[in-house]
Structures are given as C-alpha cells and as structure tokens.
Amino acid sequence: MKAAEALAERLAESKAQLAARNATAAAQIDRITDRIETLGYGIEAGEATPEDAAEQAALAVNLKTWKAYKFALGKVTAQTTWPAAPVWPVEPPIPEIIAAPMFADEEMA
C-alpha cells in the first residue's frame, strides 16, 4: 500500500506542477497578446512610433516562444517518465513590458 500511496502523491505533485506551469504560460500569452494588440491599435491609427513597431515585432517572437512552451507542456503527460520524473520543457524568459507591468495588481494591494 505504501508504494501506491507514494505513486498517488507523486501524481498529485506532478499534476500540480503542470497546472502551475500551464497557468504561468497562459498568463504570459495573454499579457503579450494584449500588448501586441494595443501596439497594433497605434500602428493602425498611424500614431505609433518606430519603437512601438519594433516592440510589437519583438513581442511577436516572444509570443511564439510562449505558445510553443505551452504546447510542449501539453505533451508532458505522454512521457514514459510521467508522473515519476517528468522532463519539463524550458520556460521562456518573461519579456519586460513597461506599459503593462507583470505585478501591477499586487503592487496596488
């Protein structure tokens, strides 16, 4: 019974890690997408600067990387090592978005 309990505990831990990583990825994708769309409004209106267009292009690369990471997370449970020793994909760097700080809500609390 102890082996079954240990396996169940490890499964729960791995699922919790996966859920946390998926939540982080989803939050980053939403954050980056929002900024890209906002910059797009300025570009469409003819009010954006060349720096705004460059920021949008750089963020598009970041967005693609985060989407690939989220996709890779979806394959973790298919690994032969799941749930005992999952091999996690490498989390991409979090881009700095000055106009949309990541922890703005927490700082206001």
| Domains of the chain: total | 1
CB 94 within 8 A of CB 32: no
**Helix, strand, coil proportions of the chain in percent (round to 5)?**
70, 0, 30
Provide the residue range defining the domain that includes 40.
2-82
Burial 20-33 (b: 16+ CB within 10 A, else e): ebeebbeebbebbe
Report the alpha-carbon distance of residue 24 to residue 73 in Å, rounded: 11
Amino acid at 68: A
What is the predicted pLDDT for the residue at 108? 45
Let me know if residue 8 belongs to a domain: yes
CB 53 within 8 A of CB 43: yes
Let me know if residue 48 belongs to a domain: yes
Let me know if residue 72 belongs to a domain: yes
Tokens at residue 9, please?
């505990």
What is this structure's pTM? 0.86
| pLDDT one-digit tens code per residue, 52-91 | 999 999 999 999 999 999 999 999 999 999 999 999 999 9
Tokens at residue 18, please?
């996966």
Let me know if residue 52 belongs to a domain: yes
